[in-house]
Every structure is written in structure tokens, then in C-alpha cells.
Amino acid sequence: MTGREALHAYVAYFDGSKRSVSFALLAAVAQPAALLPIPWLAKRAFDQMIPAGDIPGLLATGGAILALTLVQAGLALWVRHLSLGVTKLATARIREDLVAKFCSLPRNDLATADRAAFQTRAVDDTERVDAMTNALVVMLIPAALVGGALGLVLLSLSPRLFFLTLLFLPAVWMTSRVLGVRIRRDVALFRREFEIFSRGILFVLQKQDLIHAQAAEDHELKSQVGQIHRLREISGSMAWLNATYGLLHAFLFAAAGTVVLAVGGIEVVRGRMTTGTLVSFFVTLGLLRTQMGIVSTSLPLIVGGRASLEAVLDLLRLPASAPTSARPPLSFQGRIALEDVTYGYDRMLGPVLHEVSLTLASGEAVALVGRNGAGKTTLLNLILGFDEPWSGRLLADGIPYGAFDIVSMRRRTGTVLQDPLVVRGTLAENVSYGTPGATRLALSEAARLAFLDGIVAKLPSGWETPVGDDGGTLSGGVRQRIAIARAILRRPALLLLDEPTAHLDVPTVELIVRNLRTALPDTTLLVVTHDREVARQCDRTVTLDEGRIILPQSVPVSLA
């Protein structure tokens, strides 16, 4: 993405905030107007009031300067208030778009993506963009406007001293140029190393079982410590450059002030300038130095934020899945048909499913059996619309996939994956996930059908019991029951169970299937299983072998 494209995309996030931006800019322009009389008041005090011994006049002048300073401070606070409202809203919109992008990415693309990098974009990079936006709107623009106005005051007070101070501008520009390049380089290095660090921390937190099982604690610690110190070196270098940048600018302003003092003092001695004019020039130069200090502070934030903005916008440009919300919703009744469906994850490796045809009638219970790797879970993913077949087609209630909003169908589908997913929160929040507004009575009924009610009753906090990250405090069987209760809660038209005996014993699964068929007689049930007894609870069994359905029949075949 070019800088111009990034700028246009960035500015678009401020749409709808034009009034606030206009007020903020007007207040920013008014800030220097409050400061402009101060140098003239100082000049008048030194040239007229002090020589004349006009104490009341001096007190009045001091009060006026204080009042003007307070007005300027008030305007600065107003600018900051207005600007923060605009900039924080823009950052929130960027984050909303990122979350929407993550939700819309194709499943295969997300599976192979660097999720730690995505997290860095959504969290750290958007924070840097927020800092950049604040530095630009709250700091740089007002300081530049104030600095410009103060420069005009300096010119009016003493053109000679003004042009003398301009001799330092090339040094200021060269410092910004050279150090700016170094800062941009270090920012890019820091972002890259920070992503590696973030990825490593996520790995340590998420793969504890692997680390412990492989006795890899020392190896992992050594690896992460090395990355921590690489990040420390780059971060230290970046901080040192920022400090150097600020100190050099401060030195150049101090040098300019020293030259002004010497030359201006000579002018006063020779009678070419009044003491008030010199003092006024110094006061104005001090105010200008403050504004330029704000500019110097904001520039590194803007440099870092620009790199983060480009990274965020590049992520937002990734192709998403085709939107389905514009398609008509489906009042799904649970009928599914696959017609000569062929599909694989990589065309180089060939298809996983070969010309599969399968029909599920409304209210029918079907057991799908087959060896590991036969393609059973792949078939479920196709039914859920996670992937599209290479050839053939899928239909829901006789309507081809792609002709309706797939989300409306998923809302009428309950899914229990082989590895049951649990989110951070309470038991109630986990079972009701995806079914907002579920009553406690409905939760209890779903728990009863999934044999989760007895577990809830034994817990001191009941439904409000926290489960930890990924259900780390729960056994596999409890996680399975939670997932089944979650699927049941929405009273689905289609219920998909992928290897329910992976974490539950066969008698329990048999009872759950019986409960489902009794309590949800109109729900279509597709059970992926290796167990003969579980398959016997279904109306028929379909065998999948090496991606081909070989025998639909009324009694289960051997599952060996």
C-alpha cells in the first residue's frame, strides 16, 4: 500500500466527525491568539512601567499575562477534549474493522496464518496508531500553528534577531532527517521482534502440555530469554535515539538563545534596541521552544504509528470470505443433501472426498462411520459451510449453498466438535455462547439432556463457576458435556456430533443420543462415531472409506 493510499484509508475513519474536527481546528487556531499579546505586554512592562515605577500598571500587566496563559490553557484542554473524542472513535472503528476481518477470513487462510502477528496488529499496532493520531491532532497540529504565530511575533519584534535564529534551521532539519531515518528503521525492527516475542509468549501459554511432556522447559526458557534480550536491545536503541533527537533539538534552541542574548545585548548597549524588546523576544523564543519541544516529542510517535498504520491497513486488505448477509435467510428445517461432492485442502495433494452423495432427511438420525482419515470431519466442515467443494454441490432444504445466508443456517445448527471448545468465562456463559438471552430454565434443560446438570449441582458456585482459559480447569468429559448442552440449547434443526465418545464413555453417549431423539424428535442428527453401540442408536449407518461412501444401509457395518 502506498503512502497516499494509506492516508486516504486513514482519513476515511474520521468520516462523521467533521464538526468535531472543525471545532478542534478552530480552537487550535485560537490558542496562539491568546499568547500573542504576552510578548507586547512584557515589552511594555520593561520599556515603560519599570522605568516609570508604575507598580499598579505592572500588577495589571502581570494579571493580564496570567489571564492570557489561563485562556490558552483552557483552549488547549478544549482542543484535547475534542480531539480525543475524534481520535479515539477513529481508533475504535479501525479495531472494529479488524475484528470483522478476523471473523470473515476464509477458514483455511486463518488456519495457516500467523495468529500472533494478527494479535499484534489488533492490539499493539492499533495502540500505536492511536498514539500517532493523538500526537498528530492533539500535539503536532496545534503546536505547529502556535509556533507559526510566535514566529511572526519574533519577526515583528526584531527582524535581525529573527533571521539570526533562522540560521539554526538547517541544523534542526538535518537532525530530523538523519535521526528520522534511524528511528524509522528501529521502529520496523522493533515491530518485527515484538511480533516474534508475542508469538513466543502465546506458545508458552498455549502449549504447556507439549512443553512439559517433552521436558522442554529449559529449551523454551532459553529461546524466549534470547528473544527478550533482542527486543531489549532494539527497544533501548529506539529509546536512545528518541532521547538524542530531543536533546539535540534542545541544544540547538539553547544555542540560538545564547546567540540572541549576545547579539541582542550588544544591540541594547549600542541603543539600537530597547531592553523591553530583547526581553519580549526572549519570552517569545521561550514560548516557541516549548511548542517546538512538543513537535519533537510527537514526531517519533508519528513515525512509529505510520508503520503500524500501514501494517494494519495491509491486514484489512486481505481477501475475506464472500459476504452472505445480502442473501436471503433460510428457515432451515434440517434437510441436507450432498450431490457428487469432491473436495480437498490442497489440490497438489488431491481430494479428501471423492464424489460423495448423501441425503439427511428432517428428523432422521444417521451414524457416519469410517477409519481415521476417511474424511468424516471434512464432510462435517462442508455441511457447516466452512469450505466449498471443488465440484458437486450441497443443498439445505433443497436450496443450493450460496443461494442463502449461511449464517442463518448455522443459527439453526448445533455442532459438537471432536475437540470441544470452551471459552473463558462461567459455565452459564459457555453453554449460552451463541444463544444470547437464554433463560436459566432453558440452560437447566439443556444441561439435563447432556448429563451436565449433576456436575453443575455439585459445584459451590453452580452456573457461575469460572472454567478458566480453554476450560483448563475441566476434564475432557465435562468439556464435551458443555459443548453438547450448548448445541442443544438452541433447539437446532440439525445437530452434528463429531466423535462424542472421544471424551465420554459409550453408555453415557448412548443415553445422550436417546435423550436427544426423545426431546428433539424433529432434529436431524448426524453422529460421527467409531463405536458400534452408538451407531445402533441411529436410524441408519453410512460408511466413509478413503473419501468415498461405500455402503449406506439400515444396520451398522463393522467399524474395525
Reported as a single tens digit per residue, the pLDDT across 439-479 is 999 999 999 999 999 999 998 889 998 887 777 778 888 88
What is the pLDDT at residue 181? 79
DSSP secondary structure of 303-334 = HHHHHHHHHHHHHHTSPPPPP-TTSPP----S
Q: Alpha-carbon distance 142 to 26, whole Å?
A: 10
Q: Alpha-carbon distance 375 to 382, whole Å?
A: 11
CA distances in angstroms from 439 to 428, 432, 444, 491, listed in the order given:
10, 9, 9, 13
Is pLDDT above 70 for 385?
yes
The mean pLDDT of 88-109, rounded to a whole number, is: 84
Is pLDDT above 50 for 481?
yes
For residue 397, name the pLDDT band (cuts at 50, 70, 90): very high
What is the pLDDT at residue 393? 94
What is the pLDDT at residue 554? 39
Is pLDDT above 70 for 559?
no
Sheet with 399-400: list strands edge to edge. Answer: 353-360, 336-343, 391-396, 399-400
CB atoms within 10 A of CB 286: 12
CB atoms within 10 A of CB 214: 11
C-alpha closest to that of 276 among 33, 51, 59, 32: 51
Locate cell 465420554: which residue? 504
E strand residue ranges, 140-201? none
For residue 52, name the pLDDT band (cuts at 50, 70, 90): confident
What is the pLDDT at residue 1? 59
CA distances in angstroms from 41 to 64, 126, 276, 358, 365, listed in the order given:
8, 45, 9, 90, 91
The residue ranking higher by pLDDT, 171 or 24, is 171
What is the pLDDT at residue 6? 81
Locate cell 480437498: which residue? 344
What is the pLDDT at residue 380? 93
| Structure-block grid coordinates of residue 267 | 544591540
| Structure-block grid coordinates of residue 443 | 440452560
The mean pLDDT of 204-223, rounded to a whole number, is: 78
Q: Which phi and psi angles does 514 have, rounded to 5°? A: -65, -45
CA distances in angstroms from 235 to 16, 98, 516, listed in the order given:
37, 26, 58
The mean pLDDT of 215-221, rounded to a whole number, is: 82
Is the separation of the CB atoms in 496 and 416 below 8 Å?
A: yes
Locate cell 516474534: which residue? 196
Q: Alpha-carbon distance 409 to 404, whole Å?
A: 8
What is the pLDDT at residue 60? 93
The residue ranking higher by pLDDT, 111 or 520, is 520
Is pLDDT above 60 for 553?
no
C-alpha closest to that of 280 among 264, 266, 262: 264
User: Within 13 Å and on the Cβ side, how many CA atoms surround 304?
Assistant: 27
pLDDT tens-digit series, residues 344-377: 888 888 899 999 999 999 999 999 998 888 889 8
The mean pLDDT of 533-559, rounded to a whole number, is: 74
Q: Alpha-carbon distance 264 to 281, whole Å?
A: 9
For residue 555, name the pLDDT band (cuts at 50, 70, 90): very low
Is the separation of the CB atoms in 450 and 481 below 8 Å?
A: yes
Provide the greatest CA pair distance for the chain: 115
CB atoms within 10 A of CB 497: 28
Average pLDDT, the chain: 85
The mean pLDDT of 333-349, rounded to a whole number, is: 91
What is the pLDDT at residue 531? 82
Q: Alpha-carbon distance 515 to 512, whole Å?
A: 5
pLDDT tens-digit series, residues 410-429: 989 999 888 888 888 889 99
Is pLDDT above 60 for 265?
yes
> 22-31, 101-110, 182-191, 360-369 — which one is most confidently predicted on average?
360-369
Q: Which phi and psi angles does 271 have, rounded to 5°? A: 80, 15
Q: Which long-range contacts (CB under 8 A, 24 or more apart) does 134-137 make?
A: 134/83, 134/84, 134/87, 134/301, 135/297, 135/298, 135/299, 135/301, 135/302, 135/305, 136/298, 136/302, 137/24, 137/83, 137/86, 137/87
| Structure-block grid coordinates of residue 412 | 439453526
Amino acid, single-letter form, for residue 298: S
What is the pLDDT at residue 214? 66
Is the separation of the CB atoms in 397 and 332 below 8 Å?
A: yes
Across 353-383, b (16+ Cβ under 10 Å) vs e yields bbebebebeebbbbbbbbeeebbbbbbbbbb
What is the pLDDT at residue 323? 60
What is the pLDDT at residue 195? 81
Locate cell 468520516: which residue? 15
What is the pLDDT at residue 551? 59
pLDDT tens-digit series, residues 486-511: 999 989 999 999 988 778 888 888 88
For residue 558, name the pLDDT band (cuts at 50, 70, 90): very low
What is the pLDDT at residue 286? 85
